[in-house]
Amino acid sequence: MDRITGAAALPCLLLVLAACSEPPAPPPPEPRPVRVTTVEGRGEPTVVSLTGTIQAETEVNLGFRIDGRMVERLVNVGDRVTAGQVVARLDRTNEENSLRAARASLTAAQAQMREARANYVRAAELLRTGFGTRQRYDQAAQQLQTATSAVDSAQAQVNIAENRLGYTELLADAPGTVTARGAEPGEVVAPGRMIVRLARQEGLDAVFDVPPLVKDIAPPDVVVSVALTLDPSVRTTGRVREVSPSADPVTGTFRVRIGLIDPPPGLRLGSTVTGRMEVAGGAGYAIPASALTRQGALPAVWVVDTTSRTVALRPVEVLRHDPARAIVSSGLTGGEVVVTAGVQALRPGQQVRLLDRAP
C-alpha cells in the first residue's frame, strides 16, 4: 500500500519541481520620461513669410515673322532697349530679289493696262460713231478689266515683298530689358522662334510659390510687404495681381504674382525678396518646433493620451515654422498634450512619464 502511495505522489512532486525551475517573468518596462506641452490656440494675428523673386509684369518673346539666316543680333542679356529699336537682322538677299521681281511684274501689268485702256477708249469711240461693233467694245472692256485686276494683283505682290523685306529686321515693340537670348548669328531660324526675351518696363511683380493652406486663409484684398532679402531696408508693398488656378504637380504650391506699388530702384529683375502678410488669429496652434517629427514624408507629432499615459503618432499640417516654434493648421485641437522632448525615442502605444506634470 505504501508503494502505491509513493508512486502516485511522484508525478506531483516532479510537477512542483518543474514549476520552481521556471525563470520569473520580466518586470514591465519603465515608462519613458518625456517633456510635454498643452496645445493652445493663437489669438494674435499670424505673420506668414515666403521667399520669392522679382519678375517683370509682362515678358514677351521677340521673334522674326519669316524664316531665314540671322546675320546680326544687336543686343545681349541685360541690355536696355527702346521702342522701335532694331535687335536683330536676317539675310536680306532673297527678300530683295523677290521685291525686284514683284516690281517688274507690276511694271509689266501697268503697261498692259495702259494698252487695254487705249483699246477700250478706241472701241468706245468707234461704237459711238457707228464704225465699230458691240462685240468689239465688249471685248475691249473685258480686256481692260482683266488688265486692271492684274495690276492690283501685282501691286499686292509688291506690298507683300516690301513687308517681307521689312520683316528681316526685328524691332522691339516696347521699352524694356533683355532677359534671355534664343539664337546666335549664323543660325537659320524659323518663324516665331524666340530670338530675345524682353521684360517690358510696365511694372514689376514679386512672384511666390504659395502653399495651398496659405492661399486659402489669405484675405481677399491682402496687402503684402515685400523687402529685398539681402537688404531689408529696400522694401515696398503690393497686392495680389494673379493666382495660378492649378497647383504645381511636383511641389503642390500655387504661383502667386504680387503687383508692386512704386517699387524702389533696388528691386531689380531676378532679385530674391521676402514677402510678409498678416492673417487673422486662430489660423493654427502654436507648438514648440522640437515637437515636430515625421511620419513618412509628412510632418507629425506625438500626442499623449492623458488617461492611459500612452503616445500616438499623428500627422499634422504645418502653416509655418521657425527654429523656436511651429504653427500647426490642422491635425490638433486645443487642450491636447504633445511631446516636446524625446520624440525620436518613442513608439506607438508606449507608456510615458510626464516630466512637466505631477503624477
Residue pLDDT, tens place only, 203-237: 899 999 988 877 777 777 788 999 999 999 999 99
How far apart, in whole angstroms, are the C-alpha atoms of residue 359 and residue 31? Answer: 12
Q: Tell me the pLDDT tens digit for each residue of 139-155.
A: 999 999 999 999 999 99
Q: Which of 188-197, 256-265, 293-302 has the lowest mean pLDDT?
A: 293-302
How far apart, in whole angstroms, are the C-alpha atoms of residue 40 and residue 337? Answer: 10
How far apart, in whole angstroms, are the C-alpha atoms of residue 31 and residue 241? Answer: 55
Query: What is the pLDDT, as a whole number, of residue 68?
Result: 94
CA dihedral 90, 93, 99, 101 (to 10 degrees): -150
Grid cell at residue 156: 499686292
Residue 268's domain is classified under what CATH number? 2.40.30.170
> Do 78 and 100 fall into the same domain?
no
Percent of the chain with pLDDT over 90: 48
How far apart, in whole angstroms, are the C-alpha atoms of residue 44 and residue 217? Answer: 15
Confidence of residue 358 (pLDDT cuts 50, 70, 90): very low
What is the domain count for the chain?
4
In this predicted structure, the answer to whether residue 268 has a pLDDT above a threshold of 80 is: yes
> Do 187 and 250 fall into the same domain?
no
Query: What is the pLDDT, as a whole number, of residue 292?
Result: 86
* This prediction's pTM: 0.58
Judge whether 236 lies within some domain.
Answer: yes
Q: How much of the chain is helix, strand and coil, in % rounded to 5?
A: 30, 35, 35
Listed residues 279, 306, 334: the one ending a domain: 279
> Do 73 and 183 fall into the same domain?
yes
- Reference 78, options 173, 199, 178, 203; nearest CA is 178
Judge whether 2 lies within some domain.
Answer: no
C-alpha triplet 124, 130, 135: angle, nearest 5°:
55
> Do 216 and 124 fall into the same domain?
no
> Do 85 and 187 fall into the same domain?
yes
> Do 82 and 181 fall into the same domain?
yes
How far apart, in whole angstroms, are the C-alpha atoms of residue 215 and residue 225? Answer: 16
> Do 85 and 180 fall into the same domain?
yes
Judge whether 339 lies within some domain.
Answer: yes
Backbone angles phi, psi at 159, to 5 degrees: -60, -40
Q: What is the mean pLDDT of residues 30-36?
A: 81
How far apart, in whole angstroms, are the C-alpha atoms of residue 198 and residue 88? Answer: 13
What's the first-to-final CA gap in the chain, in angstroms? Answer: 63
Judge whether 25 lies within some domain.
Answer: no
Judge whether 6 lies within some domain.
Answer: no
Judge whether 145 lies within some domain.
Answer: yes
Judge whether 291 lies within some domain.
Answer: yes
Q: What is the mean pLDDT of residues 301-318?
A: 86
Q: Tell me the pLDDT tens digit for each residue of 157-173.
A: 999 999 999 999 999 98
> Do 185 and 78 fall into the same domain?
yes
- Reference 216, options 236, 239, 192, 243; nearest CA is 243
Q: Which helix (H) or strand (E) holds 277?
A: strand 272-279
Higher-pLDDT residue of 335 and 158 is 158
Using only C-alpha atoms, the chain has a radius of gyration, in whole angstroms, of: 43
The total number of residues shown for the chain amounts to 359
> Do 195 and 245 fall into the same domain?
no
How far apart, in whole angstroms, are the C-alpha atoms of residue 185 and residue 182? Answer: 10
> Do 85 and 173 fall into the same domain?
yes
The range of the structural domain enclosing residue 303 comes to 32-44+283-354
> Do 75 and 172 fall into the same domain?
yes
In this predicted structure, the answer to whether residue 106 has a pLDDT above a threshold of 90 is: yes
Mean pLDDT for the chain overall: 85
> What is the 8-class DSSP label of residue 185?
T
Listed residues 279, 311, 345: the one ending a domain: 279
How far apart, in whole angstroms, are the C-alpha atoms of residue 254 and residue 302? Answer: 30
Grid cell at residue 240: 495680389
What Cα–Cα distance (Å) separates residue 97 from each residue in 94, 102, 156, 160, 164?
5, 9, 16, 13, 11
Residue 105's domain is classified under what CATH number? 1.10.287
Listed residues 145, 176, 199: the one ending a domain: 199
Backbone angles phi, psi at 281, to 5 degrees: -65, 165
Grid cell at residue 74: 544687336
Judge whether 298 lies within some domain.
Answer: yes
Q: Which residue has the cell 499686292?
A: 156
Q: Which residue has the cell 521677340?
A: 62
